[in-house]
Amino acid sequence: MKKNYHLLTIAALLIFIGGLFLVFIIKSTNTEKGQEQSQHKIGEVPKSEQPIKEKNPRLETVNSKVLIGYVQDFRDPASIDYSKLTHIIFSFAHPEKDGSLILNGEMALSNLRKTVKKAHQEDTKVMLAVGGMNHLKGGESYDYFKAALVNPTSRTKLINELIEITNEENLDGIDIDFEHPRSKEDAQYLAEFTKTLGEKLHLHNKQLSIAVYSMIHSVTGTEDQSVVYDPFMFHHVDHVNIMAYDGQWDGEYNAANLSPYPFTENIVNYWSHLFDKYEISKEKLVLGVPFYGQPEEVKNNQVSYDTIINHDPANAERDRINLNGTTYHYNGETTMIKKTKLALDNGFGGMMLWELGHDAKGKRSLTNAIFDVLIKGQEDQDMVYSND
């Protein structure tokens, strides 16, 4: 009887030890799995498991304001001060009717690469604008862009080419500049293109912005019906860059309507109400301003703000000058500061500049003036949050 008792005791002990060993194995296995998972960055999902999602970085960084500057492809990348800009938008890549994408030769590609390198050294993002008003091969870009969007095959090709160049050139995103959708059909195709492109870019943690028409007639102050957008499209982008200028073409040519402050007020009110109506964050809205002067005689060329200031630094306080017998209308420093405050007061996400190459250098730089207001506005906002 004692012998059997001892045998039972030994058996029970072996079972207990085996159980402990099994628990140890299970914990070790789970620890190894945890170590494998920790090799991914925080929040990173393996590509095979990534869902199609809509991501809006602006909503995640509501307290910061963007300062976005467009730069044309022929500009010397070394001439740009990247330090005060959150984004550079390199302009332009041109869509073909079959959905392929072209740049303005090796010069443009070389400048793009230099811009990316220099901008990233200043922690400034670089996006590539596709479209624009005029096509590289002549005529309006609209005809090429629309043809590419209407056909599902060419639309898919254009999206794939944009994703490919974004990855190959280490870009931070794409800017859509379709000038301009003229019908509900145009708006539908643009919305489909934007949604799909946005989903693909956001999967790669890239951004998508879109340049939009002001939508306000500079003379009547009413909504312009000649351009049509699908408002729901704006849910799929990170920034909406409002081209709040070129009002001189509304009705009979009038250079004084380029971008006066009352015109900008109407534009800001329109887009604010639109985004409130469709429950879209106004942080996505970016107010665009011109860095050039418009001549009263349409036959004359525009002049850069740099030219205006070099003629007389006191022109920074004005919005109109006479230069070589021609009167030009523009936005001086005082008006730019006022417009920047207007954007901030209405909850906009920041400011957009067309075009960086036109800006004056040094203390009369409009970029610097706008930057200072954005920083001051940010500091005031932070103080409000801290008091709360």
Structural domains in the chain plus CATH codes: 52-291+332-380 (3.20.20.80)
**Over the stretch 91-120, which tens digit does the pLDDT of each residue have?**
999 999 999 999 999 999 999 999 999 999
The sign of the dihedral angle between the CA atoms of 43, 47, 49, 51 is positive
The secondary element (H helix, E strand) that includes residue 169 is: none
- Amino acid 54 reads E
pLDDT bracket for residue 21 (50, 70, 90): very low
What is the number of other CB atoms lying within 10 angstroms of the CB of residue 350?
25
User: Which pLDDT score, from 0 to 100, does residue 33 have?
Assistant: 35
Q: What is the mean pLDDT of the chain?
A: 86
Q: What is the mean pLDDT of residues 55-84?
A: 78
Q: Quick one: the chain helix, strand, coil %, rounded to 5?
A: 50, 20, 30
Which positions ≥6 away from 176 have C-beta within 8 Å? 129, 130, 131, 190, 193, 194, 197, 208, 209, 210, 211, 237
User: Which pLDDT score, from 0 to 100, does residue 64 have?
Assistant: 85
User: Which pLDDT score, from 0 to 100, does residue 382 have?
Assistant: 59
What distance in Å separates the CA atoms of residue 370 and residue 148, rounded to the nearest whole number? Answer: 37
Which has more pLDDT, 323 or 63?
323
Six token digits for residue 36: 């494998």
User: How far lies 25's CA from each of 18, 31, 102, in Å?
Assistant: 11, 10, 58
**Over the stretch 164-210, which tens digit does the pLDDT of each residue have?**
999 999 999 999 999 999 999 999 999 999 999 999 999 999 999 99
Is residue 32 classed as helix, strand or coil in its secondary structure?
helix
Give the whole-number percent of the chain exceeding pLDDT 70. 81
pLDDT bracket for residue 377 (50, 70, 90): confident
**Over the stretch 330-370, which tens digit does the pLDDT of each residue have?**
999 999 999 999 999 999 999 999 999 999 999 999 999 99
Which has more pLDDT, 221 or 22?
221
**Over the stretch 149-162, which tens digit does the pLDDT of each residue have?**
999 999 999 999 99
Whether residue 319 is predicted with pLDDT greater than 90 in this model: the reply is yes
Give the residue carrying structure tokens 């379709």: 178
The sheet carrying 326-329 orders its strands as 303-304, 292-295, 326-329, 320-323
User: Which pLDDT score, from 0 to 100, does residue 387 have?
Assistant: 54
Six token digits for residue 150: 């209407």
User: Which pLDDT score, from 0 to 100, does residue 242 have?
Assistant: 98
Which positions ≥6 away from 367 have C-beta within 8 Å? 67, 69, 81, 84, 85, 353, 356, 359
Q: What is the DSSP letter of 224?
A: P
Six token digits for residue 60: 């995640």
**Cα torsion for 342, 345, 347, 353, to the nearest 10°?**
30
User: 286 and 242 in contact (C-beta within 8 Å)?
Assistant: yes
| Count of positions (residues) in the chain | 388
pLDDT bracket for residue 378 (50, 70, 90): low
The sign of the dihedral angle between the CA atoms of 73, 107, 193, 350 is negative
Q: 208 φ, ψ to 5°?
A: -135, 125
Strands 207-213 and 239-243: parallel
Give the residue carrying structure tokens 């690469």: 113
Whether residue 8 is predicted with pLDDT greater than 90 in this model: the reply is no
**Over the stretch 239-264, which tens digit does the pLDDT of each residue have?**
999 999 999 999 999 999 999 999 99
Q: What is the mean pLDDT of residues 78-103?
A: 97
